[in-house]
Amino acid sequence: MALGAYIGHMRGVRAILTVALGTIAAYLVCVQGGDQIVQVINRIWQNSPKLVAFAAGQDPGAVSVFDPLLTTDLQVPLFFRFIFFIALVAISWFFNKRSKWYGGSPAKHEPLAPILGIFSGALTALLWANAAGLFYDEYVNVMGPLGYPVGTVLASLPDVSQFIPSLILVFILVLVLILVFYMPRILTVPEPPKR
């Protein structure tokens, strides 16, 4: 986390925001949120007749619910989840571009960029480390432990998955607040000078 926070501080939040958002999406889809996403989809599907009845002005209690759309025992194999996690992070890294006008120290143009970069970088590193630890735990359950250097390092990673949803929520809320407060400035900023 310290390395991610350092990189985030040095480069600013814009330089790693795409990677952070891609890592969050990859973590939610591939590591932690598969069952939760299926439950949300099933809940929306099952309660949609009640919602339609409510919108039509009828009694929602008189309408029966649908059967679940997806089964929760649907499990994607570990190998494919691991590869898809790496692919999503790599795609976000590929699309991570900095504007040409955004040069020099991030603190010069945006005073909050280093602070938000620390949080973004630390969160990204934490998600990568936690994903590696959880993937390794599943691998050990199926195939057994790896050898000394790699297996020992991966086994020593702590499982902080119970804190991850709260950290992701705080991160998203901070981004939304920044967008709300800076949207008027973004819309009125003149074009950068041509070189």
Q: Which residue has the higher pLDDT, 74 or 22?
A: 22
Q: How far apart are CA 77 and CA 84, in angstroms?
A: 11
Residue 116 inside a domain? The answer is yes
Selection from 179, 17, 192, 194 nearest residue 97 by Cα: 17
Per-residue pLDDT tens over the stretch 43-68:
888 888 888 888 888 888 888 888 88
Count of the separate structural domains present in the chain? 1
Split at pLDDT 50, 70, 90, the class of 40 is confident
Residue 193 inside a domain? The answer is no
Selection from 125, 161, 152 nearest residue 31 by Cα: 161
Let me know if 6 is exposed, middle or buried by CB neighbors in 10 A (0-12, 13-18, 19+): middle
Residue 158 inside a domain? The answer is yes
Per-residue pLDDT tens over the stretch 125-177:
999 889 888 888 888 887 877 777 878 788 778 888 888 888 888 988 988 88
Residue 49 inside a domain? The answer is yes
Q: How far apart are CA 26 and CA 88, in angstroms?
A: 6
Selection from 154, 136, 134, 153 nearest residue 144 by Cα: 136
C-alpha radius of gyration, the chain, whole number? 21
Residue with tokens 């040409």: 100
Residue 194 inside a domain? The answer is no
Tell me the CA distances in angstroms from 43 to 38, 39, 126, 160, 191, one per residue in order.
9, 6, 30, 27, 46
Q: Enumerate residues 6+ apart whose C-beta is below 8 A from 128.
A: 4, 23, 89
Q: Which amino acid is at 109?
A: H
Residue 115 inside a domain? The answer is yes
Boundaries of domain holding 182: 2-188
- Decide if pLDDT at 101 tops 50: no
Residue 132 inside a domain? The answer is yes
Mean pLDDT estimate for the chain = 79
Q: pLDDT over 90 for what percent of the chain?
A: 3
- Decide if pLDDT at 105 tops 80: no
Q: What are the E-state strand segments in the chain?
A: none
Residue 195 inside a domain? The answer is no
Tokens of 71: 């089964």
Split at pLDDT 50, 70, 90, the class of 87 is very high
pLDDT of residue 59: 86
Query: Average pLDDT for residues 91-111, to the nearest whole number?
Result: 65
